[in-house]
A = this chain, B = another copy of it.
Amino acid sequence: MEFETGGLGIVILNKADAGRMGLHALDRVILTKNHSTAVAVVDITEKFASEGEILTNMEVTEILKIKLGDEIEVIPSPAPESVAYIRQKIIGSKLSQDKMNVIVRDVVDKKLSDIEMSAFVTALEVRGLSMDEVEYLSRAMVKTGKSLHIPGKNIVDKHSIGGIPGDKTSMLFVPIVAAAGLIIPKTSSRAITSPAGTADRMEVLAPVALTAEEIIRVVKKTGGCLVWGGALDIAPADDAFIKIEHPLGIDPLLLPSIMSKKKAMGSQSVVIDIPTGRGAKIKTVGAATELAEDFVELGKRLDIHISCAITFGEQPLGYCIGPALEAREALEALDNKGPQDVVNKAANIVGVLFETMGIDRHTGYDHAIRIIKSGKADKKFREIIEAQGGNGKVKVNDIPIGEHHMHVKSEEDGRILWMKNGEIASIARAAGAPRDKEAGIKLNVKMGDPVKKGTTLFTIYAKHANKLENAVKLVETYKPMVIGKTYTQNMMMERFPTEIKHRRIFMLER
């Protein structure tokens, strides 16, 4: 069969043959031919394979080097050891380091079926993980991937748990920190359910799919980088887990996912940004503090110094959402023209790092601001862009944004009372972000700003007219900004049952 699953091999057997071998759909078989063996999951058909015939997909065909008409040996195979451990997690046992190693090894080797992967991820979500299990899982994920060995000490990093549209903090953080003489080999993800990941934003300015060797070269030269982590094969199990978490909208591997990558990159000190508030992933400072404690504890176990910044997350950061718009805004912020919240947040998070590193024990924030004001951060950013293969002399207006656009205007006088992060992200995605780098949203107002009837609230940019249309339709459904005279004017926050059913907006970022 001319397809591959990207996972466990698949074979299709006739029902009679399967019956004779006592095989059910989704059981495993070991296939042997030409001294090669492959394991595959069984699908059963009454039509497409006759008795004595077996259909193999590309994974199997390639391993066994078989062609049409070849005979292969088929033997029922038990489920791998890891399935027994997944069952143990389901029934509530705690898993040991050895068992986690076996599970993660089998995940990376693609020995588990979607059903087994989903059962594991669901059981982790429902049962929760003990801190021991989080540590074991993190170590197993490091062990099954590559590690980067960057020479030097003071290797630092920064990570946001995400959920806030427009969060381009890393594009300021990396150059400030590198300008201060620290080493920051920053890897980022592309957007999964958001309008832009840091890798998408940076790709507007420079190539981000660098090899490990290229990263080491860039970091040696400039002290920092902003690259896509996906091609480095660090903690490869995570990609397999995300594939399952995404359709289910659950995220039980947040801690091991983030921290295994930091460990594999050799980080010694890391600041975790936890955007918090209604419309963010973490809703309350209490919950954020609990998560921060877990990060710190896990850091101790993995020998990484962790500090956390709990930041205001009730609205998008800055005014720009979407890869190109955000790249522009980051350049402006480093050029001392940036929106206050973008600069303030970056300087605050850098400040936490400076203080914990002992670089500036009490006024890390001021120190960060001085580095921006002096132009050193801007210079460093352009060095990094150049070293990664981009144009270090790029100007804001060189960066194209979507030629199709639409101004969304206020229908009444008042103030911006609430903004809906998830809905704004969905609108930007409908407009084409992150795939269309030029697509996105430019806000004209933020929470608390006064507006009049007819004031532009935001502008949607798109590369394709039909996508602009889709985005505009969503604006009508979602009403992403709530406008009123005062907070006392309308006490109703949401009604139930709601008219917009099953609006599953979920921003999974790592």
Proximity string of chain A (1-39) to chain B, C-beta cutoff 8 Å, 1 when within and 0 when not: 111111000001000000110101111000000000000
Q: How far is B250's CA from A84's CA once the two chains are assembled, in angstroms?
A: 11
Residue of B nearest to A23 (CB): B435
User: Which of A114-122, A336-344, A383-391 lies at the interface with chain B?
Assistant: A114-122
A25 contacts B504, CB within 8 Å? Answer: no
List 26 A-B residue pairs with CB atoms under 8 Å apart, sorted by A's residue number.
A1-B1, A2-B48, A3-B43, A3-B55, A4-B45, A4-B48, A5-B43, A6-B25, A6-B43, A6-B44, A24-B243, A24-B246, A26-B247, A27-B247, A78-B504, A81-B502, A83-B248, A86-B248, A90-B122, A90-B126, A92-B126, A113-B114, A114-B115, A115-B115, A116-B118, A118-B118
Residues of A that sit less than 8 Å from B by CB: 1-6, 12, 19-20, 22, 24-27, 43-45, 47-48, 55, 58, 78-79, 81, 83-84, 86-87, 90-92, 113-119, 121-123, 125-127, 192, 243-244, 246-250, 429, 435, 501-502, 504
Question: Are A246's CB and B126's CB within 8 A?
Answer: no
Residues of B within 8 A of A126 (CB): 90, 92, 122-123, 126-127
Residue in contact with A90 in the complex, picked from B20, B117, B250, CB distance below 8 Å: B250
* Chain B residues within an 8 Å CB radius of A25: 6, 243
Q: What are the residues of chain B within 8 A of A243 when measuring CB–CB?
A: 24-26
Nearest 5 CB-CB pairings of A with B = A118-B118, A122-B122, A115-B118, A126-B126, A119-B122
- Measured in the bound complex, the distance between the Cα atoms of B118 and A123 in whole Å is 10
How long is the Cα–Cα vector from A207 to B92 in the complex, in angstroms? 44
Most buried by B among A1, A6, A249, A429: A249
In the complex the two chains form, is A248's CB within 8 Å of B115's CB? yes
Q: Which residues does chain B contribute within 8 Å of A250, judged by CB atoms? A: 87, 90
Residues on B with C-beta less than 8 A from A247 are: 26-27, 79, 83, 113, 115-116
A79 to B119, alpha carbons, bound, how many Å? Answer: 19
Q: Which residues of B contact A5 (CB under 8 A)?
A: 43
Q: How far is the CB of A471 from chain B (nearest CB, A)?
A: 12
Residues of B near A86 (CB, < 8 A) are 248
Residue of B nearest to A506 (CB): B87
Is A118's CB under 8 angstroms from B114's CB?
A: yes
In the assembled complex, which residues on chain B have CB atoms less than 8 Å from the CB atom of A43?
3, 5-6
- The chain B residue sitting closest to A41, CB to CB, is B247
* B122→A24 contact, CB < 8 A: no
Q: Which residue of B lies closest to A24 (CB)?
A: B246
Name which residue of chain B comes closest to A55, CB basis: B3
Query: CB distance B115 to A22 under 8 Å?
Result: no
On chain B, the residues within 8 Å of A1 by CB distance are: 1-3
User: Distance (Å) between the CB of A57 and the closest chain B CB?
Assistant: 9
Q: A242: shortest Cβ distance to chain B, in Å? A: 9
CB closest residue in chain B, given A250: B90
- Report the Cα distance A115→B22, complex, angstroms: 24
Shortest Cβ distance from residue A82 to the other chain B in the assembled complex, whole angstroms: 9
* A249 to B85 CA separation, bound complex (whole angstroms): 12
Q: How far is the CB of A351 from chain B (nearest CB, A)?
A: 36
- How far is it, in angstroms, between the C-alpha of A123 and the C-alpha of B119 when the chains are bound? 8
A441 vs chain B, min Cβ distance (A): 16
Give the distance in Å from the alpha carbon of A2 to the alpha carbon of B57 in the complex. Answer: 11
Is there contact, CB below 8 Å, between A248 and B48? Answer: no
Q: Could you tell me the distance between the alpha carbons of A480 and B19 in the complex, rounded to whole angstroms?
A: 26
Q: Which of A84, A117, A248 has the most CB of B within 10 A?
A: A248
Query: How far does the alpha carbon of A501 sit from the alpha carbon of B501 in the complex, in Å?
Result: 48
A85 to B319 Cα, complex, angstroms = 35
In the bound complex, residues from chain B placing their C-beta under 8 Å from that of A79 are 247, 504
**A310 to B194, alpha carbons, bound, how many Å?**
55
